[in-house]
Amino acid sequence: MSVDFLHPGEGAAIDTDVPALELRGIDKRFPGVVALDNVDFTLKPGKIHALMGENGAGKSTLIKIMAGVYGKDAGTIRMRGREVDIQSPRDSLKEGIKVVFQEIALISEFTVAENIFLEGYPTGRTGSIDWKKIRADSAALFNRIGFNVDPAARTGSLPVSQQQMVEIARALAHEARVVVMDEPTSSLTPNEVSLLFTVIRRLASLGIAVVYVSHKLDEVFEIADTVTVLRDGRHISTKPIGEHSNDTLIQDMIGRRIDNLFPRQRGAAGGKVALSVEKLSTARKLDEVSFEARTGEVLGFFGLMGAGRTELAKAIVGYDPITAGTISVDGQRLTPHDTRTGVRLGIGLLTEDRKSEGLMGELPVYQNASLASLGAFARMGFIDTAKEHRAVQDYVDRFRIKTPSLFQQVKNLSGGNQQKVLISRWLMRGLKVIVVDEPTRGIDVGAKSEIFALIDRLAGEGLAVVMMTSEMPELLGLADRIAVMCEGRLTAIMSRDEATQEKILNAAIG
Amino acid sequence: MSELTHASAPKRFIGGQLLGSSQLVLGVILAVLCIAISIAAPQFHSEANIIAILRQCALVLVVASGMTMLIITAEVDLSVGASLAFVGCIGMAVLNSTHSLALGMLAALAFAGGVGLFNGLVVTRLRVNSLIATIGTMMMLQGGVYLFTREAVQNHNQLASFTDLGAGYVGPVPVPVILAALIFVVAYVTLRFTTLGRYLYAVGANEKAVRLSGVRSERLKLFAFVVTGLCVGVAGMILSSLMNAGQPTAGRGFELTVIAAVILGGTSLLGGRGSLFGTLLGVLVLKVIDNGIIILGWNQDLQMVVPGVVIILATYLDIIRNRANVR
């Protein structure tokens, strides 16, 4: 590798008429599924092109074909007008396509510089690796994207946002013409997002075609020039972003209209105090957090990454240990501090991490739903399965849980339906306070509104709902009151009427 | 929507068949083995030989019943072999000094249950991985038994009831087989029909989810460890009765046979999946192979080799079958 790649064609005129990458008539079949059906996708150099669609729409399949992870069954791929044959990730990289996946593919034990030049270390005259050059070139690359990361830092010690920058720098090192960002903001703070956007715009100004895969509408409106929507493996639309509104974009994604993402059915909030938390502290994070939640209300907690929302959620249900403070449910103290007492008093957690803390993936839907309320179906320790199945079937019908049967392994359901199963688990138990942590993480736009409606219904039925979220629209759309956290402390509580995005963000920064 | 869920009634049937089909494979293997050995050596299906096989199975099945529960909770106990030998020595020693089968039995159960409790506490409280924890216990027991006795503890009493434990019959059925059947049925019913059983599967499938549901998951694991220990207690007494002595060297490799039978029966080492019926088939397959090798007069060292091959083969067949299902 020579040093030339640091300034290829910078400032030179970019020929925007020839597509940087052109996919035509792409088909991809998996056993029993048509993942992509005759999909066209054209990228112009220097433009940011959003790729949108619900889970299962074919976004990931398409970018995996670009990345050479999957082979296509039919169709052609052209780079700058020339047909290319991409069989492996190596081919893809060689053609100048760099995909930054959600799961960062860096070696965490290596330094940043080592990772950037992973595919070919520059060597000195003796054949030994030229470490000095590697560091210098890395620094130069970061300089070009206008972002600073210490090339000598151990990669694993960096936050995700900076690891992304390392991946982008790698793309430049390979003289990439196309950079694909797969849901890049899913674990970034708002500050980091705006930094990332600056870098992405910088990439575009260098003449690189950027594919931005996301299902966050506000981000796409902010960053993209063009939007392509896929649905059920088919190309639905490609339009300049200016021709889209929130509604038209959602309509394209889910194929029907959603009139109101946050349908509010319940009446005014504010019953009696159901949950009272006083000066709660934990060893690692929480610092004297006090608040109350009332029956029939949704109390929304907002905070940036690391603010302590999840820690708070796990502490107040008795899952994680506390060092000081008290928790009372319906006036009764949560002692001893464990989930057994918590559930007995009527407080439970709908976890943010469904897979590792909520679902028993291998087990059938009905066993997942009844887990917290088995006692109600048992006589002398023996389960009355007929009664159990009837009760679960009732919830499957009421919540419209899409499953071929009660006996389906829950891991085969979609994210939204899994979430409904977990909500059923708590409703069958009968709670007074439900703590929901990021209730729509990994859930499609279409299913999101159903989850919102369910949360609304929970509050309407007289539960106190404590909702942890990092999504501002979710917070403003659902909560009656808004609490804001910063570094383990509660920095503000306000009613929805007095809340503004600015106020909330200010409190979140501290 | 409701059509969707109702239309699925037949699917449940298919689901049941798929679940059972790993046992079907095992059943076929067992049948083929029995037929093949019978053809080569007709004495295989003599009543005496069948009873001998069942008696051989009994010892393994007793411990495998507990082990199935334990592995379903995603833990494992490698100390059962070492514990088996120690239990036999202790039971025999207590029997010798007290002249009471009940006290000997009690001592054996207390010791083996204590070992299970110890394993369980190390795993759930100290959070040591069960594989490592029970290897530690195994080493402690293997060394410890020699601190207790350097040679076999002989039977000084010749209590008839003690001898019956291993060698007795009720009608044509050996007493150990009856004991094994009893333990098997209790374990089967527990796993299949009770809340306790459901929770054991749940803990193996996702311990955090169980804890969040307000169930004390550590207690469930502790329970499974203690039950496995108690099963070893019963097996240890049967073994010392059969040998008419407590042998500190007995039970070498026993843990492998037990775990092999459980895995062969389709129980997942990852937890949350498995069945006692499969374990029963697994035990039968292993012991029929053992018996066949003896009857056919093959080199006895093959008794270790062949089951090794069978386990890899059966697990591979299972993978193929799963792949075919996904299709």
Q: How confident is the model at residue A120 (pLDDT cuts 50, 70, 90)?
A: confident
Chain-chain contact of B193 with A402 (C-beta, under 8 angstroms): no
* DSSP at A14: P
Chain-chain contact of B206 with A343 (C-beta, under 8 angstroms): no
Q: What local confidence, expressed as pLDDT, does residue B199 receive?
A: 96
* DSSP at B151: S
Cα distance from B4 to chain A (closest Cα, Å)? 6
Two tokens at A337? 């501090």
Q: What local confidence, expressed as pLDDT, does residue A306 receive?
A: 78
Chain-chain contact of A338 with B216 (C-beta, under 8 angstroms): yes
Task: Tell me the residues of A at the B interface, defined by beta carbons under 8 Å apart.
Answer: 31-32, 317, 319, 338-340, 342-344, 348-349, 351, 356-364, 367, 371-372, 374-375, 378, 381-383, 393, 396-397, 400, 402-408, 425, 429
Kindly give, in sequence order, each residue whose CB lies less than 8 Å from that of residue A345, ignoring residues fewer than 6 positions away: A329, A330, A332, A334, A432
Question: What rounded mean pLDDT belongs to chain A?
Answer: 87
Cα distance from B217 to chain A (closest Cα, Å)? 10
Determine the angle formed by the axes of helices A131-145 and A160-173, rounding to 10 degrees.
110
Residue type, A455: I
SS3 assignment, position A430: coil
Q: What local confidence, expressed as pLDDT, does residue A503 receive?
A: 87
- Chain A residue with minimum CA distance to B9: A405
Helix/strand/coil percent split, chain B, to 5? 80, 5, 20
Question: Which residues in chain A have their CB less than 8 angstroms from residue B211's CB?
Answer: 319, 339
Return the higher-pLDDT residue of A258 and A487: A487
Whether B39 has its CB under 8 Å from any CB of chain A: the answer is: no
Instruction: Give the HSE-up count for residue B259: Cα atoms under 13 Å, Cβ half-sphere.
Output: 18
Whether B216 has its CB under 8 Å from any CB of chain A: the answer is: yes
Question: Which residues in chain A have their CB less than 8 angstroms from residue B72's CB?
Answer: none
SS3 assignment, position A240: strand
* A-B contacts at Cβ under 8 angstroms: 114
Two tokens at A418? 């899994």
Same CATH topology for A3-254 and A271-346+433-510? yes
Asked if the model's pLDDT at residue A5 lies above 50, the reply is no
Chain-chain contact of B209 with A361 (C-beta, under 8 angstroms): no
- Chain A residue with minimum CA distance to B208: A357
Domain A3-254 CATH assignment equals 3.40.50.300: yes
- Chain B residue with minimum CA distance to A397: B2
Percent of chain A whose predicted confidence (pLDDT) is above 70 = 95
Cα distance from B1 to chain A (closest Cα, Å)? 6
Asked if the model's pLDDT at residue A394 lies above 90, the reply is yes
CB atoms within 10 A of CB A347: 29
Each residue's pLDDT tens digit, A414-435: 888 999 999 999 999 999 999 9
Query: Which value does ipTM take for this structure?
Result: 0.86
Name the range with the highest mean pLDDT among A253-257, A458-462, B83-87.
B83-87
Q: Which of A316, A350, A363, A373 is most worth mutating to test chain B (most B CB atoms within 10 A of its CB)? A: A363
Kindly give, in sequence order, each residue whose CB lies less than 8 Å from that of residue A390, ignoring residues fewer than 6 positions away: none
Fold of A271-346+433-510: Rossmann fold (3.40.50)
Residue type, A259: D
Asked if the model's pLDDT at residue A259 lies above 60, the reply is no
B8, B9, B198: residue with CB nearest A383: B198
Cα distance from A401 to chain B (closest Cα, Å)? 8
Q: What local confidence, expressed as pLDDT, does residue A14 receive?
A: 54
Each residue's pLDDT tens digit, B104-131: 999 999 999 999 999 999 999 999 999 9
Question: Which residues in chain A have their CB less than 8 angstroms from residue B198's CB?
Answer: 367, 374, 383
Asked if the model's pLDDT at residue B3 lies above 60, the reply is no
CA–CA separation, B242 and B235 (whole Å): 10
Q: Which residues pair with A449 in a beta bridge?
A: none
B16, B214, B326: residue with CB nearest A372: B214
Question: Which residues in chain B have their CB less than 8 angstroms from residue A364's CB?
Answer: 15
Q: What local confidence, expressed as pLDDT, does residue B324 receive?
A: 58
Kindly give, in sequence order, each residue whose CB lies less than 8 Å from that of residue B138, ignoring residues fewer than 6 positions away: B78, B79, B81, B82, B83, B255
Cα distance from B290 to chain A (closest Cα, Å)? 34
Q: How confident is the model at residue A178 (pLDDT cuts 50, 70, 90)?
A: very high
Question: Which residues in chain A have their CB less than 8 angstroms from residue B273's CB?
Answer: 362
Place of tokens 């005496």: B48
Asked if the model's pLDDT at residue A467 lies above 80, the reply is yes
Domain ranges of chain A: 3-254, 271-346+433-510, 356-430
Q: How confident is the model at residue A15 (pLDDT cuts 50, 70, 90)?
A: low
B4, B193, B199: residue with CB nearest A382: B193
Each residue's pLDDT tens digit, A327-362: 999 999 999 999 999 999 999 999 988 989 999 998
Q: Which of B72, B199, B206 is most worth mutating to test chain A (most A CB atoms within 10 A of its CB)? A: B206
Q: What local confidence, expressed as pLDDT, does residue A374 receive?
A: 93
Asked if the model's pLDDT at residue A2 lies above 80, the reply is no
CA–CA separation, A192 and A190 (whole Å): 5
Asked if A426 contacts A268 with a C-beta cutoff of 8 angstroms, the reply is no
For range B50-56, the mean pLDDT:
91
Q: What local confidence, expressed as pLDDT, does residue A172 receive?
A: 84
Q: What local confidence, expressed as pLDDT, does residue A6 receive?
A: 45
Q: What local confidence, expressed as pLDDT, does residue B9 receive?
A: 36
**CA distance to A447, B58, B169, per residue, from B241 (Å):** 64, 13, 13
A363, A371, A404: residue with CB nearest B272: A363
Question: Which residues in chain A have their CB less than 8 angstroms from residue B215's CB?
Answer: 339-340, 371
CA–CA separation, A53 and A252 (whole Å): 8
